[in-house]
């Protein structure tokens, strides 16, 4: 198994792995992840404001996120140095992001 998988699974959180039943940790993890993935879906095409490390703030329209996500593909990124048509923002650079729906 990958290190990421091992880290995610933690200790004592593994269920039987039977596809039709879930242990309480599996059910909780699934419900939390489903909601988060839906929030990513809802964000597509919306203007989003990002608070970055070192005090930076930028705005952009979110076009896509990879899974887990590690990065956002954004359009019309407004940076202090001007407008960038398409860019990738690293999640590790971001403290928070906000949007309205």
Site for another protein in 10-29 (CB under 8 A): 10, 13-15, 17-29
Task: Tell me how far, at minimum, the Cβ of 71 lies from another protein, in Å.
Answer: 8
83 binds another protein (CB under 8 A): no
| # of chain residues touching another protein (CB under 8 A) | 75
Task: Tell me how far, at minimum, the Cβ of 28 lies from another protein, in Å.
Answer: 4
Task: Tell me how far, at minimum, the Cβ of 34 lies from another protein, in Å.
Answer: 6
Judge contact between 100 and 45, C-beta under 8 A. no
> Could you say which residues in the range 47-66 bind another protein, by CB under 8 A?
51-56, 58, 63-66
Q: Using CA atoms, how far apart are residues 75 and 24, in angstroms rounded to an integer? A: 40
Residue 28's CB is within 10 A of a number of other CB atoms, namely 12
C-alpha distances (whole Å) from 50 to each of 19, 84, 92, 94 are: 38, 15, 12, 7
40 binds another protein (CB under 8 A): yes
88 binds another protein (CB under 8 A): yes
38: left (phi over 0), alpha (psi -120 to 50) or beta: alpha
């Amino acid at each position: 198994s990958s290190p990421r998988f091992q880290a995610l699974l933690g200790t004592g959180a593994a269920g039987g792995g039977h596809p039709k039943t879930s242990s309480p940790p599996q059910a909780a993890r699934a419900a939390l992840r489903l909601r988060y993935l839906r929030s990513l879906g809802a964000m597509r095409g919306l203007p989003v404001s990002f608070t970055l490390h070192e005090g930076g703030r930028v705005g952009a329209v979110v076009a896509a996120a990879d899974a887990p996500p590690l990065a956002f593909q954004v359009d019309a990124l407004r940076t202090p140095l001007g407008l960038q048509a398409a860019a990738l923002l690293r999640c590790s650079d971001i403290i928070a992001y906000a949007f309205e729906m």
